[in-house]
Amino acid sequence: MILQVQGVTKRFGGLQALTQVTFDLPEGQILGLIGPNGAGKTTLFNVIDGVYKPDEGRVIFLGEDVTGKKPYYLAKKGLARTHQIVRPLNELTVRENVMVGACFGHASANLSTAAKIADEVLDLLGLAPKANALAGSLNVAQKKRLEMARAIASQPKLLLLDEVLAGLNPSEIASMVKTVRAVRDRGITIIMIEHVMSAIMNLSDRILVLDFGKLIAEGTPEEIANNEKVIQAYLGDPKLAERLMKGE
């Protein structure tokens, strides 16, 4: 198991953001994380990568209990993530942004190696022509790719993707889906939060459904699409799931 989340609970004041969330993630899989807005998906990411300390429970990453460890500790150990709301380092160039990932993440590269990694990753994400532009000058779709590029450049073992498809047009989605597959084929385990159902149903090996901070279902895409609870809580329309599976 690359990641084990055991009984994680997180409260903000009176708000129960996560309640007793438990799951295991084997290496090499793509795990989909879905649920309505406000279900606690991003909070779960923030607990896993050390931005928040859980009130209860443990996070075990690569066999080590990392609960309450700082985000940079986890990054060095092999975790990387993207942000739902992009956070480019605006006044740095696109290449420099990616080099930050390569230098300080799990890759721990020196500057010249980092530049090589950056150029390769920018190529993979189709950002090579923009390498010398300031990150602040990119459009939203490019900024999402930049988030991805920074995360991949750190050569992580586990990658958390927070809505990398949101706000993209269909052709952009198609190419991003391809990229995610390519990343997985490099042996990187992925957890992805996504609202674009067709994409997540197609990509995921397994899916977790979060509702009001609780895990309400877990299984293969087929199982989730046919799960009564999920349909009630989230998908709403029983036929919807079927259509989604076909990618309509």
Of these, 81, 130, 143, 157, which contacts another protein (CB under 8 A)? 81
d(Cα 245, Cα 248) in Å, to the nearest integer?
A: 8
Contact 199, 173 (CB under 8 A): yes
Mask 30-49, x = binds another protein (CB under 8 A)?
A: -------------------x
Site for another protein in 192-221 (CB under 8 A): none
Q: Is 154 in the site for another protein (CB under 8 A)?
A: yes
Of these, 11, 87, 195, 214, which contacts another protein (CB under 8 A)? 87
Q: Is 83 in the site for another protein (CB under 8 A)?
A: yes
Of these, 104, 120, 131, 212, which contacts another protein (CB under 8 A)? 104
Q: Is 146 in the site for another protein (CB under 8 A)?
A: no
Of these, 60, 62, 92, 216, which contacts another protein (CB under 8 A)? 92
Q: Which residues contact 245 (CB under 8 A, 6 or more apart)?
A: 201, 221, 222, 225
Q: Is 59 in the site for another protein (CB under 8 A)?
A: no
Q: Is 130 in the site for another protein (CB under 8 A)?
A: no
Is residue 114 packed enough to be buried (19+ CB in 10 Å), middle (13-18) or exposed (0-12)?
Answer: buried
Q: Which of 2-10, 99-107, 187-195, 221-229 is the region at the interface with another protein (rule: CB under 8 A)?
A: 99-107
Torsions phi, psi for 112 (to 5 deg): -75, -40
Of these, 20, 22, 110, 232, which contacts another protein (CB under 8 A)? 110
- The residue ranges that bind another protein (CB under 8 A) are 49, 51, 70-72, 75-76, 80-81, 83, 87-93, 96, 99-101, 103-106, 110-111, 114, 132, 150, 154
